[in-house]
Structure 1
Amino acid sequence: MDLGAFSVSLAVSNLKDSREFYERLGFAVVGGDADQGWLILRNGDTTLGLFHGMFDSNILTFNPGWDQAGQEPPSFTDVREIQAALKADGAALVSEVEGEAGPGSFVITDPDGNVVLFDQHR
């Protein structure tokens, strides 16, 4: 099962300070909107999302339909297929994707309570 691009979404207390910290580590802003409280940063193949006031905790994020550079691959595993496979394997979902095609997302938690978001944009 192809989960798509992987990133870590960090719940930050100060977007400006976090941006400056990660820029010192070689990350560069590649997307987002600071006025809305979020930025996407990349260093090589590593992607971080910085989110102020949007989430209670850090989140592991998979984006079906995107490669690690944020490009659309020719084919991918739809988020609904991933959800169905996880449900069939007994995973408890926190939220489920709605609709039969297009964008959608669902959330599970790992055994330690870490939030895992599957977020498809196309």
Structure 2
Amino acid sequence: MKLGAFSVSLTVKDIHKSKAFYEKLGFQTFGGVIDDSWVIMKNENCTIGLFQGMFEKNILTFNPGWNQNAENLDSFTDIRDLQKQLKEDGVQLLTEADDSSTGVAHFTLEDPDGNVILVDQHVNRP
């Protein structure tokens, strides 16, 4: 199963303090809008998202259709196909993508320890 680019989305208490901390670890701003309480940071192939007040727990994030630099891939497994395969394998989803849609969509699930996983596609079907 090819899930796409991976990042960790962290819920933070103070976006400015967290950004400054991760900059000390060598991360640089890659995207986002800090005034809207979110920023994406990279250190080589490691990507983290810092989000203040947007969700309760940290989230593992996968982006079908993107490489680690958020560049569109020519070929990838569409999110609806990933969702179908997971459901056929008996994986319970918290939220689902609309099977009749195309393009941008997402679904969420939890691992056995309650860690939330977001599969979030930002591009159209290949």
| TM-score, shorter chain, exceeding 0.5 | yes
* Alignment-derived partner of residue 114 in structure 1: 115
Moved more, 91-100 or 34-43: 91-100
* Deviation of the 1:69 alpha carbon: 1.3
Q: Can you give the 5+ residue segments of structure 1 that lack an aligned partner in the other structure?
A: none
Q: Post-superposition shift, 1:100?
A: 2.5
Mapped partners of 1:68, 1:111: distance in 2:
26
TM-score normalised to the size of structure 2? 0.95
What is the match of residue 76 of structure 2?
76
The aligned counterpart of 1:16 is 16
Identity rate of aligned residues, in percent?
Answer: 52
The Cα RMSD (Å) is 0.6
1:57 maps to amino acid: K
The list of structure 1 runs, each at least 4 consecutive aligned residues, that deviate by more than 4 angstroms after superposition, is none
**Which sections of structure 2, spanning at least 5 residues, go unmatched?**
none
Give the Cα separation in 1 of the matches to 2:101 and 2:87.
16
**In the TM superposition, what whole-angstrom CA distance separates every residue of 1:59-83 from its partner, at most 9, and x where no partner exists?**
0000001011111111001010110
Write the mapping of 1:87-102 to structure 2, written as runs, cut at 5 A. 87-98=87-98, 99-102=100-103
